[in-house]
Amino acid sequence: EIISVKSSDNVIRFNTFLGHPTANKGGLCIRHGHRNVVESNTFLGTAYGVRVSGDENMVINNYLENVGSGFVLTAGGTKNKPYIPCRNGLFANNTVVDAAGSPFMVGAFYNMPDARDPENSITVYPSGNKVCNNILTGKKDYTIVWDRGDPKKNELVSNEFKNNLGFCARAKKVEDMKLPAGVTGEDPKLTTGGERARPGQGSPAIGKGMVLERVKDDIAGRPRDGKPDIGCEEVSSGASARRRPLTAKDVGPDWMKGDFVALEKEGIVLEVQALIQKYPEAEFRARMHEMIDSAGAAPKPDR
């Protein structure tokens, strides 16, 4: 988890989440909380986008690209532990581009045993969630919406899907994607080359969205009109973008300036200087000075 939220009424907005190239890539987890708002964030290469448990959480206008899984709605325990089921949330106007797994998963952890309390049954399925105006595309997995619950119960229908586009280029026919009602299997015709993949000319996403009172603008700050686009961007508005994905130079203290290589070198120098003070032997000191010289990130200490 890059961020784990265990409280209520928080707003997570206008951030960029980057998956680490080698370490656990994580994601944003609304782990225990209600009425949180996750809005207009960008997720690039994370293990998942947003995982949600709890009541009345709102996830809108987010952009996810090359993530492991997209949105994950958790099941809950009969004793409301270790997770509260995701209930009565709004998932609207998000765009998932080329997820490696399922772009939208409902019922994560369903039927998972609770090692701490065998009497707690994790079988409370997510319910009452509204899933509208989303673009959901997968790169490998045909299952655009993955129902993790009991297949005999078909509890997915306890959530409302409306006006979504689902697509996987590897699927030979629409039926392969096993889309629920409210998700149309049609290529959104996304164009690449800019800051985000967005609906291009002739896209079925343009002007085909539902008007939602709680979604008044898009991820870039453009206003939504009376015929909004599906997905996180209001391409058809013609207005200029007021926001863009953050880069390293946009965040953190000014002195960092996004130059992490220089910071790493400086850290090496400081560590070596501390070792020199601790171990005064001449041969050891000479070798440590060579390391400082090769790092070249700070003035050479007096010898």
Q: How far apart, in whole angstroms, are the C-alpha atoms of residue 80 and residue 76?
A: 6
pTM of the model: 0.81
Mean pLDDT of 245-253: 79
pLDDT for position 261? 52
Do residue 179 and residue 268 come from a single domain?
no
pLDDT for position 272? 67
Higher pLDDT, 295 or 26: 26
pLDDT, averaged across the chain: 87
pLDDT for position 254? 65
Instruction: Assess contact for 142 and 178: CB atoms under 8 A.
Output: yes
CA dihedral sign of residues 141, 144, 147, 152? negative
Q: Residues of the chain with pLDDT > 90: what percent?
A: 62
Split at pLDDT 50, 70, 90, the class of 171 is: confident
pLDDT for position 299? 46
Do residue 69 and residue 87 come from a single domain?
yes
Pairing status of strand 164-168 against strand 86-87: unpaired
Q: Residues of the chain with pLDDT > 70: what percent?
A: 87
**Is 80 exceeded by the pLDDT of residue 142?**
no
Highest mean pLDDT among 14-23, 120-129, 164-173: 120-129
- How many separate domains does the chain show? 2
Split at pLDDT 50, 70, 90, the class of 303 is: very low
DSSP state of 223: B
Do residue 216 and residue 257 come from a single domain?
no
Split at pLDDT 50, 70, 90, the class of 286 is: confident
Instruction: Assess contact for 283 and 294: CB atoms under 8 A.
Output: no
Cα–Cα separations (whole angstroms), residue 192 to 97, 175, 189: 10, 27, 10
Do residue 236 and residue 252 come from a single domain?
no
Q: What is the pLDDT of residues 80-139, one digit of tens each?
A: 888 899 999 999 999 999 999 999 999 999 999 888 898 999 999 999 999 999 999 998
Do residue 108 and residue 234 come from a single domain?
yes
Amino acid 268 reads: I
Mean pLDDT of 128-156: 92
Do residue 103 and residue 213 come from a single domain?
yes
Structural domain harbouring 152 = 3-244
Do residue 224 and residue 274 come from a single domain?
no
Torsion of CA 290, 293, 297, 302, to 10 degrees: 90
Do residue 266 and residue 175 come from a single domain?
no
**Is 70 exceeded by the pLDDT of residue 149?**
yes
- Closest among 173, 56, 166, 44 to 105, alpha carbons compared: 166
pLDDT for position 184? 95
pLDDT for position 143? 85
Which token pair is 118?
């065998």
Instruction: Assess contact for 37 and 90: CB atoms under 8 A.
Output: no
- Closest among 79, 34, 43, 86 to 61, alpha carbons compared: 43
Do residue 197 and residue 272 come from a single domain?
no
What H or E segment, with its residue span, contains residue 13?
A: strand 11-13
Do residue 273 and residue 137 come from a single domain?
no
Considering only 74-83, 167-176, 254-263, which range has the smallest mean pLDDT? 254-263
Q: What is the pLDDT of residues 42-78, one digit of tens each?
A: 999 999 999 999 999 999 999 999 999 999 999 999 9
**What's the distance, CA 22 to chain centroid?**
18
pLDDT for position 267? 61
Do residue 30 and residue 165 come from a single domain?
yes
Last residue of a domain, one of 216, 244, 272: 244
Pairing status of strand 198-199 against strand 190-191: antiparallel
Indicate the length of the chain as a whole number: 303
pLDDT for position 301? 46
Cis peptide before 188 (omega within 30 of 0): no
**Is 90 exceeded by the pLDDT of residue 161?**
yes
Do residue 300 and residue 212 come from a single domain?
no
